[in-house]
């Protein structure tokens, strides 16, 4: 326990002067926000099996704010919050708890400004062969965004990937606060891993004002505020982490150079080469390499990254930016090499656009031979990874029935049995799409009872 800390789980009172200065420091935003820790969310910054990082916001800085992890019979683990500097009101803090037990569920609280947030719970990654996780992109703070959060909570993934365009705040602090408040029940109980999108680089400006180029993006206040609010591995713009047998890579095409030979490109090659022992290799980023919707394919991104995805056997690429759902055939070198819905590992990369998180929908598709399925539907992705296969289900949040399911099998399906032989049912890894839709129906029914 740190010197000056009170014993046990009791919160400590900050000096009175900062509280009296509250309105002077953060103005109207603070008047609408709780004085204690809020906007709590988790991430993986170090080893996912033995550590967790918690990030939170305080309207008034407090050098005594702590993360407190309940360890059962052992003394609680108290980790001081580290102030994250950036162009945002109030104060963001992050703390990483280490030395945890793999696969264990923990309860935790966050103390600050004399108040306590929580308790919340989280579970560290274990050595289980089954990994159940989710993805959602282009969310915002609409009613459809809230339905995405409710659906994800019902699906109960181990972690969530968000490939960019998160709150659409564009410099508006109240929008950021509303978004973090909306997702806190989800993000405070499992790692919420983000990749930067174009709307994390824009600051609201009058019509006709200059829009930043990719080269200018690292210098925008909104990019720096995004990095302040999220605690992510490495340089936080491109990074990777492992969860069981799943290796996940986040990439950035807005705040960093990604061309062949750039630092990001060189890092990606090294990272994928070192991850050849992973059962599944998955990349997520905002701009789609393959899309037939309004924005279309980002050909410069494809030219930079696809050769590396091909060379090192990336199984799945999760994209966003175009507001809808689309799945490609298995691709290699810009050509179709496999057709689903049952693909085989090593026979091409599948590209999925999941831009239906709630902000809006685009419905202006073109025809391309590599496009397998597309739909203008609000949805989230549920992914189940096992040693036998990776199953991906696009779960609609509108309650109107199934959208799409496909599998990447570790080995090809067995040949059809000879005439008269008994046919064994094909194994379906993870949770079947029907189960996901049953969960979605329960969410829809719950919403109906509320209204």
**Domain residues of the chain, as ranges?**
16-123, 131-413+427-450
- Looking at residue 400, its pLDDT comes to 87
DSSP 117-129: EEEEEEE---S-S
* pLDDT tens figures, 14-40: 443 333 333 333 344 434 556 899 999
- Looking at residue 24, its pLDDT comes to 36
Two tokens, residue 43: 């991430």
Q: How confident is the model at residue 129 (pLDDT cuts 50, 70, 90)?
A: confident
Give the residue-averaged pLDDT of 324-342: 97
Mean of the per-residue pLDDT values of the chain: 86
* pLDDT tens figures, 11-20: 333 443 333 3
Please state whether the peptide bond connecting residue 441 to the residue before it is cis, i.e. omega within 30 degrees of 0.
no
* pLDDT tens figures, 69-90: 999 989 999 999 999 988 889 9
Q: Find, among 97, 92, 84, 85, the residue nearest to 53 by Cα.
A: 97
What is the Cβ-side half-sphere exposure of residue 436, based on CA atoms within 13 angstroms? 29
Q: Which CATH fold topology does 16-123 show?
A: Immunoglobulin-like (2.60.40)
- Looking at residue 293, its pLDDT comes to 98
Answer yes or no: is pLDDT of 10 > 90. Answer: no
When computed from its CA atoms, the radius of gyration of the chain, rounded to whole angstroms, is 22
Give the residue-averaged pLDDT of 362-370: 97
Please state whether the peptide bond connecting residue 29 to the residue before it is cis, i.e. omega within 30 degrees of 0.
no
- Looking at residue 209, its pLDDT comes to 52
- Looking at residue 82, its pLDDT comes to 98
Answer yes or no: is pLDDT of 393 > 80. Answer: yes
Name every residue whose Cβ is closer than 8 Å to that of residue 108 and which is 6 or more positions away in sequence: 54, 67, 68, 69, 70, 97, 118, 119, 120, 121, 122
Phi (first) and psi of residue 271, to 5 degrees? -65, -45
Q: Find, among 287, 246, 197, 322, the residue nearest to 48 by Cα.
A: 246
- Looking at residue 126, its pLDDT comes to 86
- Looking at residue 77, its pLDDT comes to 98
Answer yes or no: is pLDDT of 161 > 70. Answer: yes
Give the residue-averaged pLDDT of 99-115: 97
Q: Give domain 131-413+427-450's CATH superfamily.
A: Metallo-dependent phosphatases (3.60.21.10)
Q: Find, among 218, 203, 290, the residue nearest to 253 by Cα.
A: 218
Give the residue-averaged pLDDT of 423-432: 39
> 135-139, 255-259, 372-376 — which is least confidently predicted?
255-259
Name residue, tokens 């992890």: 69
Q: How confident is the model at residue 350 (pLDDT cuts 50, 70, 90)?
A: very high
Two tokens, residue 256: 């960093």
């Amino acid at each position: 326990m740190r010197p000056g800390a009170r014993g046990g789980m009791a919160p400590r009172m900050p000096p009175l002067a900062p509280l009296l200065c509250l309105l002077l420091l953060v103005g109207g935003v603070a008047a609408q926000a709780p004085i204690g820790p809020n906007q709590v969310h988790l991430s993986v910054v170090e080893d996912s099996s033995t550590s967790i990082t918690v990030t939170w916001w305080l309207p008034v800085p407090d050098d005594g704010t702590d993360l407190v992890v309940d360890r059962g019979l052992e003394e609680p683990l108290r980790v001081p919050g580290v102030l994250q500097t950036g162009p945002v009101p109030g104060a963001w803090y992050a703390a990483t708890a280490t030395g945890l037990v793999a696969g264990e569920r923990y309860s935790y609280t966050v103390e600050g400004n004399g108040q306590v947030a929580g308790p919340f719970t989280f579970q560290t990654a274990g050595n289980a062969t089954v990994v159940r996780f989710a993805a959602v992109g282009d969310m915002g703070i609409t009613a459809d965004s809230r339905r995405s959060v409710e659906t994800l909570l019902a699906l109960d993934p181990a972690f969530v990937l968000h490939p960019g365009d998160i709150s659409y705040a564009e410099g508006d602090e109240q929008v950021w606060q509303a978004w973090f408040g909306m997702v806190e029940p989800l993000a405070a109980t499992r790692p919420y891993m983000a990749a930067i999108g174009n709307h994390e680089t824009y600051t609201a400006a009058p019509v006709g004002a200059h829009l930043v180029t990719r080269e200018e993006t690292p210098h925008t206040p909104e990019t720096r505020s995004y990095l302040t609010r999220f605690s992510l591995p490495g340089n936080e713009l491109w990074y990777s982490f492992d969860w069981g047998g799943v290796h996940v890579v986040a990439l950035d095409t807005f705040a960093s150079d990604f061309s062949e030979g750039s630092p990001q490109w060189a890092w990606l090659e090294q990272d994928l080469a070192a991850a050849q022992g992973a059962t599944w290799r998955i990349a997520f980023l905002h701009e789609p390499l393959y899309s037939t919707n309004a924005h279309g394919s980002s050909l410069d991104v494809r030219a930079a990254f696809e050769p590396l995805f091909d060379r090192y056997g990336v199984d799945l690429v999760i994209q966003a930016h175009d507001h809808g759902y689309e799945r490609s055939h298995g691709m290699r070198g810009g050509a179709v090499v496999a057709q689903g819905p049952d693909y085989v590992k090593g026979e091409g990369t599948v590209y999925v656009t999941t831009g239906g998180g709630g902000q809006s929908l685009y419905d202006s598709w073109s025809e391309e031979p590599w496009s397998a399925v597309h739909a203008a539907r609000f949805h989230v992705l549920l992914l189940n990874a096992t040693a036998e296969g990776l199953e991906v289900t696009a779960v609609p949040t509108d309650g109107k029935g199934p959208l799409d399911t496909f599998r990447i099998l570790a080995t090809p399906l067995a040949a059809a049995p000879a005439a008269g032989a008994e046919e064994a049912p094909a194994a379906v890894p993870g949770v079947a799409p029907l189960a996901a839709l049953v969960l979605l129906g329960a969410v829809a029914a719950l919403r109906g009872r509320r209204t």
